[in-house]
Structure 1
Amino acid sequence: MLKFTLSTLFFFAFMCSNLSAQTVKKLEIGDEFPTMHGELLSSKEISLPDHCRGKVSLLIVAFKRGTQPQIDTWTKPVMKEFSMYDDFRFIEIPMISKFYSWISNYIDNGMRRGIVPSMHKNVMTYYGPLSDYYNYFGVEDKKLCYVFLLDKEGKIQFMDQGESQSHKSMLLIDKIKKLLNK
């Protein structure tokens, strides 16, 4: 009887863990960006996608240090074109394991020193569990950045990863222009 009870409990625990893992699906165009809480380097706590509502938003997510050159291939042409528009927003999101949250002030202060103060409103650090986001974003390589363009309702209109090439930048710029009605 004890074996049967333990086997049944093990089976149900296994099934429940598989069910919860299946609820996190890879994002697709048209999906709402998943909820994410963090703090901007300007010290303002925000929640995504709520912080982006009413603005066309470019979000770039990075899981590893060293992705900045990739991120810059996306942001330089886009910021040159759209930084002056009030209805456009850009946020870079370093994704940091919850394990490091105890030194988050040290990490954030280091980033603040390395980033010009005018850009502090454009960097949100996330400290927390990463596995769901790996699933949401379809992360196969943590050394790549993950790019998301959200419409004013927080729905994904463009996704890509890694370094941009000129044709990808042009496609992204065209999509932003259409969303901004420019």
Structure 2
Amino acid sequence: MNLYTKILGTATMIVAVSLLAKAQKGKPFPYIEGETLTNQQINIPNNTKGKFTLIGMAYSKKSEDELKSWFNPVYQTFIHKPSTPGLFTTGYDVNVYFIPMFTGAKKAAYKVAMKKMRSKTDPKLIPHIMFYKGELKKYKEALDFERKDTPYFFVLDKEGNIVHATSGKYSGSKMEAIEELLEEW
């Protein structure tokens, strides 16, 4: 792959992420119901109203792997509460849910995948992983996610409206954009 192709590919990705964010901003997040790894039923946005919410969604094995790249940074930034807060400790009060989506033929693997993930996931993250089993079309249309090998991330305001959207593997700049948004509110 030559330099021109790499630059063109990067520019295309930047435009796609930018369009995703603009297309979603201000829209209500579509209702989704699922089960956390602690067997709690969650309805988003109904159960998340009153707090900002960060949602990561994946609907293929490759996108799930990229979704997992966000686990530790999101945990360290938004979930972990140090026993002795330091000078630079942030105090975000944010709901966080990572949502692997089981649709089509993958629905049959739902319970087995839940059991496997429960045994391999850090116990501190378990309440923040919500499994969804159902149809995909509604979410693909409402959230404009077409690339099945890419995870999608949304920040919802306290009323359940999308205020930020991004996609792909974790990066410091994506996390920084989310933090800046939350600090503004």
- Aligned AA for 2:98? E
Tell me the residue number matched to 1:121. 127
Structure 2, gaps ≥5 residues long: 1-21, 82-90
Stretches (4+) displaced over 6 A: none
Tell me the residue number matched to 2:84. none
TM-score by length of 1: 0.75
User: Are residues 161 and 103 of structure 1, via their aligned partners in 2, closer, same or farther at CA, if it must alter by over 3 Å?
Assistant: closer
Tell me the residue number matched to 2:63. 67
Work out which of the two has the higher radius of gyration on C-alpha atoms and give 1 or 2: 1
Quick one: distance in 2 between partners of 1:177 and 1:78?
15
User: Are residues 56 and 75 of structure 1, via their aligned partners in 2, closer, same or farther at CA, if it must alter by over 3 Å?
Assistant: farther
TM-score by length of 2: 0.74
Match of 2:47 among 46, 51, 54: 51
- Aligned counterparts, 1:125-144, within 5 A: 125-144=131-150
- Aligned AA for 1:143? D
CA contact (8 A) 1:78 1:173 kept: no
- Aligned AA for 1:152? K
Structure 1, gaps ≥5 residues long: 1-25
- Aligned AA for 1:59? I
Tell me the residue number matched to 2:184. 178
SS class of match (1:54): coil
User: Are residues 178 and 79 of structure 1, via their aligned partners in 2, closer, same or farther at CA, if it must alter by over 3 Å?
Assistant: farther
Tell me the residue number matched to 2:25. 29
CA contact (8 A) 2:51 2:93 kept: yes
- Aligned AA for 1:125? F
CA contact (8 A) 1:33 1:156 kept: yes
SS class of match (1:118): coil
- Aligned AA for 2:33? H
Quick one: distance in 1 between partners of 2:167 and 2:28?
18
CA contact (8 A) 2:75 2:125 kept: no
Identity, in percent, stands at 27
Quick one: distance in 2 between partners of 1:53 and 1:143?
29
CA contact (8 A) 2:28 2:160 kept: yes
Q: RMSD in angstroms over aligned alpha carbons?
A: 2.2
Structure 1 residues 93-125: Cα deviation after superposition (integer angstroms, max 9, x where no partner) = 001115444443222111111212221110111
- Aligned counterparts, 1:139-158, within 5 A: 139-158=145-164
